Amino acid sequence: MSSGKPLLSQSGPLSAPQPHPIHHNRHSSLTISSLGCLRHTTSISSSIADETLDDNLYDLKEVEEDTVTTTVSRNSREGSAFWPKRKEYRSAELHLQCPRRKRKGLVSWGGVADSWLDISALEVSGTSSRVQDNLNKSRRSERFLQISMQLAESITHHDNPRLIHINDPIKTNEKDDFSGNEIRTSKYTFLNFLPKNLFIQFHRVAYLYFLAIAALNQLPPLAVFGRTVSLFPLLFVLTVTAVKDGYEDWRRHRSDRNENNREALVLKSDKFYPKRWKKIQAGDVIKIHSDESIPCDMVLLGTSDPSGIAYILTMNLDGESNLKTRYARQETNNLVLEGSTISGIVRCEQPNRNIYEFTANMELKGHRFSLSQSNIILRGCQLKNTEWAVGVVVYAGQETKAMLNSAMTPSKRSRLETYMNRETLWLSVFLLIMCLVVAFGMGLWLKRHEHELDTLPYYRKSYYEKGKVGKKYKYYGIPMETFFSFLSSIIVFQIMIPISLYITMELVRLGQSYFMIGDRDMYDSSTNSKFQCRSLNINEDLGQIRYVFSDKTGTLTENKMEFKKASIWGKNYDCRLSLTGPSGVEGEDAKFYKQKWRLKSEIFPNSELMTLLYKDLYGEEKIAAHDFFLTLAACNTVIPIVSECPSSGLDCTPGDSHKSIEYQGESPDEQALVAAASAYGYTLFERTSGHIVIDANGEKLRLDVLGLHEFDSVRKRMSVVIRFPNDTVKVLVKGADTSMFSILKQSHPSDDPVICTTQSHLNEYSAEGLRTLVVAARDLTDEQLAEWQCMYEDASTSLTDRSIKLRQTASLIERDLTLLGATAIEDKLQEGVPEAIESLRQAGIKVWVLTGDKQETAISIGLSCRLLTTDMHQIIINGNSEDECKKLLCDARDGYFLKSASCCDQIPKRKKSAEIDYLEIPSNTKSASPQLHAGQEDGPTSRPLALVIDGNSLVYILEKDLESELFNLATLCRVVLCCRVAPLQKAGIVDMIKGRTDDMTLAIGDGANDVSMIQMADVGVGICGQEGRQAVMASDFAMGQFRFLKRLLLVHGHWNYQRIGYLVLYNFYRNAVFVLMLFWYILCTAFSTTSALTDWSSVFYSVIYTSVPTIVVGILDKDLSHKTLLKYPKLYAAGHRQESYNMFLFWITMVDTLWQSLVLFYIPLFTYEESTIDIWSMGSLWTIAVVILVNVHLAMDIKRWVVITHMATWGSIIVTYGCMVVLDSIPVLPNYGTIYNLGKSPTYWLSILLITVIGLLPRFVFKVFHQIFWPSDIQIAREAEILRKRRRFFES
């Protein structure tokens, strides 16, 4: 309890307000849900931060809208009165007030707000409360909730801390049994493999179907097949899957064993001894040397560096290749360096999977200090550039963040598969009809022969004993017999439902993924990453994408920042100018610049600015410039890595004291800014947790960092509190312009020339597509400092809601700032982005860009990546209220379309035409142009439209009835740019399109803010870029560069779609033709469900005789080469038109199937009419005929014959013959010897030839006339491709 108490005090202010009378009105919201609690929390928090309420108000307004603001303002009045009382009921009867469970939820959401999720979390609260308000819950917000709940789930609550006794694993583990460091990624052990694997496998409906059929067959009256035979299909799939699972698991076992048996140095009675990883426990102290992997999550105690820095490579965890710094607390680091033992307690949150978050505190010799993300090193990382590091294990084994993160993404189902299920339903109807026909036929036949049945030689319903009719033999009366006949016909016709198709598709997709991963043109050499298929279910969806939603930063752009321009004290400096500047000045520059430090990146400083900085003239401008660059150098989290003269340096002469410096940081913007500052003579070269050292024009400045408020997406700024050597304290702030201008010292906002000019510069910059940041500073008085320090200490050691508290603390000092200037950074476009976008557009794919950037930046990037062209009409919607948005939408609509009525009429029409298009025969390409342009044609304006909309407007539009208006407008525009959108809004836009059209959507992004969008879209693509792996983890496919999207969709998407589409149709046909053939025969056997085929052949048909070619074709066949597909992006429209799989094709295939089955049945029937043919010979003929027929059918459709295809197709026929010879060579089977006798007869061979030719003739004729006279685009392109190649061949 003693340990629990301080903790409670942390959460005190959070839920304490209940006793206070003014909060009664919100009492109810506390009990609603955890979401309600969250809303409650935020409002309270703002009331605590009474002094900075305005700022908070601003922020909250942005995300939460008016619902919360009213509450906040009500609190504000009482805020100051509330403040001093706070401490009194800090540790109050919290337990009693808020039931434990609610408190949990509340705390956990507080935790959420810490991380990148906070925007979404806050917004969910807004959404949900509105939903509660007006009871008509929209479907979408529910889905929003689901998503954010999913995300939130990943972060577990930590109201119940785990206690780690440093260097005392026994004590640590005695109370709670923390998991050891042994990891087990394997699912099975040797003993539980069989039951567990079977259990997991039977979760699939397909296997249950097999099981049900097999079980039916075991019933005596229904035994159609032999008992063992009927179990074969089930056993086969079970064994195949079990072997696959077993092999995978064995590999996992092996890698687990390797992992578990690695060794690490563990402290034991004052010395480090090697210990196996699996023996390590929480509480152990471990020493790790450079380049070693970290065995578990541990809090750093000390490193070889006196300032306690350790560099780690988190490649394995989040894919980022830059080094990250982690700090040992100075307190412990000193102890470690002294060599004394540390004994203390670490209190940390329960294990969770958020790798970007860690809250804990440490109690050491009575002192308590906070630990955060920067103090922990996680399993899977590597120690770099640090001789050694010592840490205490806090999470081990399965509880490490790396292990908790290894879950797969939820699986999606492809569009084609959904359609396929619809057709499967039709097949079930056919199955039912056939079974009913057989059952009724049986009933009628029995009725007609009722009196003969006793003696009928081929029925004999009774036993005869001693000349008298005895008991019945397998006869249960006509109704029962009819029913049994129904059931047994289900058994016979079971493969009508193509269950094996699901397994086939899985294998085929696996093969397709293999080729996608192996594609060298989708390998990114800069990040050394291959294409990744994280989801195996939606390969074919890639061929039907209609909408691409793309993030901007890091997706379209490289996310490698370059400092371009600066506006300092109202004056614009262009950093590129220096190149053309006089050479003398440049030489002078070089003197300053190359004095001491060598940077990796190259920046050419602006000479004018340089001279300003080096002038000794004191003036506002000079001071501002000085502060400006000081802020750039100091206000960041970048780590300088100093190394002596790099070996590869060209002009590195011995004795040269120049040092090379490399900046490692999590934000590329910051790196660019620090590098720029260095270029202007303000070089950051040392950073510890307590201070930074800056080389300012040759003068070493040691600045104490009193506190640092990191960047967060609510404040959109970061600040540091710095104590200068002369004891003045300054707050240095940089942040987004929207969040900065409101907190500037505003004497006369309009009068201040600096603010005015800076603002105009900012607009200029963003118009050029540059990313801007505003830099400002402020002096702190001692009182302000003291107040802030008090609050900061409290907030930063708090375990719960630390970020909210920190945010309040930050708002205490982030105000009344003096504007220094602004920076402009260029975010370069990735290679090949404009071309990729152009191709996608030609392919009929709409590319929407959703970005968090400013409108101007978004438009300029849109222009530079050719998304927008100058001839486009830009419709810009940025309203600040519902009415305004409505008006803007209406104006836009009225401006570009004659009247709203016609606009609304168009939509259903358009949809209808789209449907017709879908049903079109592939041949009918006359009107097969992408129909999305139909709408445009109808509009009176011929110029293409571009819609630019910002996040604020989206708030009003998406939540209200305006959504449909926006949709109507947006779908008529060729380009849609959404700027300033929050992550959940991105998902909202995707959802809007998903909900209102049948079109496939794809979302591509690289950052954590794209996760919700990626999960919402039909296909989510992650870019493994600079911003970590969150997006990749949530995605279905991941790749290194945006431009690969072109190849992924146009080439692989097209191939996969075409392959799977054919595969499905062919499988339907293949099974149906077989079943129909059996059905016709059963009509000739007095409806007795006899199969002429042997049991084994019936079972082998879909498993062995015909399965391999379909798989091979599904993986290897391709209609067009990638060159052609990339050259003519419009060919992609085949997927939009659903050319490879649609209802029409299904019915055509079924008609063809019917014809072929009739041919299969009647040719032998007439040939052997009134002959001596026996049932097994007939069956043998049918077996081989159907196998040849379906394989030749396939062969006719194969577009690309490689050796493997030949082997599979013709090999199947040979294998079938082989199997039949084997089956006919077993004397105990009734069909013994059949094939030998049959093979001697020419009639047999003639029949097979005849069946094949007649069966396929209509198909062939149809195909020929279709291809020659009504060719599809793909057909033409194929001819062109092949003929061109042939011509070249003949010419050479």
Q: Which is nearer to another protein, 315 or 767 (CB)?
A: 315
Q: Which residues of 964-973 are buried (b: 16+ CB within 10 A; e: fewer)?
A: ebbbbbbbbb
Q: Whose Cβ is closer to another protein: residue 652's or residue 1175's? A: 1175
Of the pair 335, 1173, the CB lying nearest another protein is at 1173
Q: Pick between residue 339 and residue 457 the one whose CB is nearest to another protein.
A: 457
Beta bridge partners of 928: none
Q: DSSP alpha helices (H): ranges in 278-407? A: 315-318, 330-338, 401-404
d(CA 627, CA 625): 5
Q: What is the 3-state secondary structure (H, E, C) of 186-240?
A: CCCCCCCHHHHHHHHHCCCHHHHHHHHHHHHHHCHHHCCCCHHHHHHHHHHHHHH
Q: How many residues does the chain have?
A: 1292
Instruction: Between 832 and 1233, name the residue whose CB sits nearer to another protein.
Output: 1233
At closest approach, how far in Å is the CB of 462 from another protein? 7
Do residues 1114 and 508 touch, judged by C-beta distance below 8 A? Answer: yes
Minimum CB–partner distance for residue 1197 and another protein (Å): 11
Please report how close the Cβ of residue 533 comes to another protein at its closest, in angstroms.
Answer: 13
Q: Are 326 and 302 in contact (CB under 8 A)?
A: no
Displacement of CA 397 from its chain's centroid (Å): 26
Q: Based on CB atoms, which residue is closest to another protein, 267 or 490?
A: 490
Report CA-CA distances (Å) from 1197 to 1066, 1119, 1249.
Answer: 10, 10, 19
Strand partners, 382: 293, 313
> Could you give the angle at the alpha carbon of 849 between the alpha carbons of 843 and 855, nearest 5°?
140
- Cα torsion 1045, 1046, 1047, 1049: sign: positive
DSSP 351: P
Q: Which two tokens stand for residue 589?
A: 């520059």
Cβ distance to another protein smaller for residue 102 or 1059: 1059
1193 membership: H or E segment, kind and range: helix 1175-1197
- Residue 1055 CA, chain-centre distance (Å), reads 22
β-strand partners of 266? 273, 286
Shortest approach of another protein to residue 948 CB, angstroms?
24
Q: What is the token pair recorded at 367?
A: 């002192």
Residue 779: CB atoms within 10 A of its CB come to 11
β-pair partners for 772: 824
Give whichever of 518 and 649 is closer to another protein, judged by the CB atom.
Answer: 518
Q: How far apart are CA 1182 and CA 1074, in angstroms?
A: 9
Tell me which DSSP letter residue 666 carries. S
Q: Which residues contact 511 (CB under 8 A, 6 or more apart)?
A: 1111, 1114, 1115, 1116
Question: Using CA atoms, how far apart are residues 1171 and 935, in angstroms rounded to an integer?
Answer: 67
| Residue 228, burial from CB neighbour count under 10 angstroms (0-12, 13-18, 19+) | exposed
- Of 744, 759, 748, 769, nearest in space to 819 by CA: 744
- What is the set of active-site residues? 551
Of the two residues 335 and 1195, which places its CB atom closer to another protein in the complex?
Answer: 1195
Closer CB to another protein, 552 or 1052, in the complex: 1052
DSSP code, position 294: P
Residue 40 near residue 29 (C-beta atoms within 8 A): yes
Residue 1051: DSSP 8-state: I
Nearest approach, Cβ of residue 1257 and another protein (Å): 7
CB of 929 to another protein, least distance (A): 3
- Residue 192 exposed, middle or buried by CB count within 10 Å (0-12, 13-18, 19+): exposed
* Residue 1098 C-beta: closest distance to another protein, Å: 13
* Closest C-alpha among 559, 555, 560 to residue 849: 555
Please give the DSSP secondary-structure letter assigned to residue 1105.
I
Asked if residue 214 lies in contact with residue 235, where contact means CB atoms within 8 angstroms, the answer is: no
| φ, ψ for residue 273, nearest 5 deg | -120, 145
Q: Specify whether the CB–CB gap between 696 and 681 falls below 8 A.
A: yes
User: Smallest distance, Å, CB 701 to another protein?
Assistant: 37
Comparison of 1158 and 1254: residue with beta carbon closer to another protein:
1254
- Nearer Cβ to another protein (756/1253): 1253
**Least distance (Å) between residue 1176 CB and another protein:** 8
Give the DSSP H or E segment for 772: strand 770-780
Smallest gap from residue 1161 Cβ to another protein (A): 11
| Closest distance to another protein from the beta carbon of 1018 (Å) | 25
| Pairwise CA distance, residues 390 & 285, whole Å | 7
Query: Amino acid identity of 801?
Result: D
CB of 477 to another protein, least distance (A): 15
Query: Smallest distance, Å, CB 1267 to another protein?
Result: 5
Return the exposure string of 786-823: e unless at least 16 CB atoms fall within 10 Å of the residue's CB, then b.
ebbbebbeebbbbbbbbbbbbbbbbbbbbbebebbbbb
Contact 219, 166 (CB under 8 A): no
Nearer to another protein, 423 or 524 (CB): 524
